[in-house]
């Protein structure tokens, strides 16, 4: 299913949030090429007990994507706990580009902070500040990945973290900005994760209540509010004059690579 802006909302079968970014419009009258760039959640190995696991039932669908590059943004401990089946099962090359922010045991382990009582509220504006900090801390990682995807041998590409919301959302937003996708459509795509994974908030409700917290005051942890991503991108506008400036100045991406990314990931309508 797609929206009027071309945003695909229905995930691939057997996943909660893996979808093609193709069809999104660009400001120069083109579209993001279909079947070249996917965003999603992790698929654990068969029988691993992960929320979503590789299944023979959908193997043909996954392999038919023709993936050449799988970008895993999870930390090393996350990968060790649940290896990603995307690359080995499809034959794609794996690029591990760890962004550990928000992961258990780090200084931004927000769920740990909730359990410890260090924080009792967390709203869209707070998430936007955190996103901006991730952009500051991980510019080189984002730049490295984008340079890889700009290479024709790196497409079709699948980008994933754990749920495909925060870390994947930040990287995808950068790519779509470079491609010239209107920001309104970028934000609409970002919010789809909150819809596709709304069950996570429902599952967490008993724990939140047990901790004596109010779900509506921490719901942002489980959703994808557009204000969060919008404020982070506006931060890059202020600090770098936009995403291309950020990627060149902080991420070390050559202008030729950004142009190659645009050429490789867009198509005529």
Which residue range forms the structural domain that includes residue 63? 19-267
Residue 196 belongs to a domain: yes
Domain count, the chain: 1
Determine the Cα–Cα distance for residues 94 and 157; give it in Å rounded to an integer. Answer: 10
Longest dimension (CA), the chain: 53
Residue 6 belongs to a domain: no
Q: What is the pLDDT of residues 64-114, one digit of tens each?
A: 999 999 999 999 999 999 999 999 999 999 999 999 987 666 666 777 777
What is the mean predicted confidence (pLDDT) over 28-42?
97
Residue 11 belongs to a domain: no
Residues 6+ apart with CB under 8 A from 238: none
CATH number at 82 reads 3.90.190.10
What is the band of 119 on the pLDDT scale with cuts at 50, 70, 90? confident
DSSP label of 120:
S
Determine the Cα–Cα distance for residues 148 and 155; give it in Å rounded to an integer. Answer: 9
Poorest-pLDDT segment among 3-7, 142-146, 219-223, 229-233: 3-7
Determine the Cα–Cα distance for residues 224 and 227; give it in Å rounded to an integer. Answer: 9
How many CA atoms lie within 13 Å of 130's alpha carbon, on the beta-carbon side? 20
Its pTM stands at 0.94
Residue 3 belongs to a domain: no
Residue 9 belongs to a domain: no
Residue 1 belongs to a domain: no
Residue 5 belongs to a domain: no
Across 29-43, 90-104, 186-200, the highest mean pLDDT is recorded for: 29-43
Residue 7 belongs to a domain: no
Determine the Cα–Cα distance for residues 87 and 188; give it in Å rounded to an integer. Answer: 28
């Amino acid at each position: 299913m797609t929206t009027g802006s071309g945003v695909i909302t229905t995930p691939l079968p057997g996943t909660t949030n893996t979808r093609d970014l193709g069809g999104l419009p660009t400001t120069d009258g083109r579209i993001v090429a279909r079947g070249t760039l996917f965003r999603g959640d992790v698929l654990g190995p068969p029988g691993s007990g992960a929320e979503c696991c590789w299944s023979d039932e959908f193997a043909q669908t996954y392999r038919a994507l023709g993936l050449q590059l799988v970008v895993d943004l999870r930390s090393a401990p996350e990968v060790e706990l649940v290896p990603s089946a995307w690359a080995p099962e499809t034959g794609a090359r794996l690029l591990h580009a760890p962004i550990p922010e928000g992961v258990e045991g780090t200084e931004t382990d927000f769920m740990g902070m909730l359990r410890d009582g260090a924080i009792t509220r967390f709203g869209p504006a707070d998430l936007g500040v955190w996103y901006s900090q991730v952009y500051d801390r991980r510019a080189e990682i984002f730049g490295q990945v984008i340079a890889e995807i700009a290479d024709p041998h790196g497409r079709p590409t699948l980008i994933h973290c754990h749920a495909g919301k925060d870390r994947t959302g930040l990287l995808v937003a950068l790519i779509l900005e470079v491609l010239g996708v209107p920001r309104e459509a970028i934000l609409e795509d970002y919010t789809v994760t909150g819809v596709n994974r709304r069950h996570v908030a429902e599952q967490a409700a008993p724990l939140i209540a047990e901790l004596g917290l109010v779900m509506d005051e921490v719901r942002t942890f489980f959703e994808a509010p557009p204000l969060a991503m919008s404020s982070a991108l506006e931060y890059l506008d202020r600090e770098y004059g936009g995403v291309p400036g950020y990627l060149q100045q902080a991420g070390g991406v050559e202008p030729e690579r950004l142009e190659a990314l645009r050429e490789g990931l867009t198509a005529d309508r």
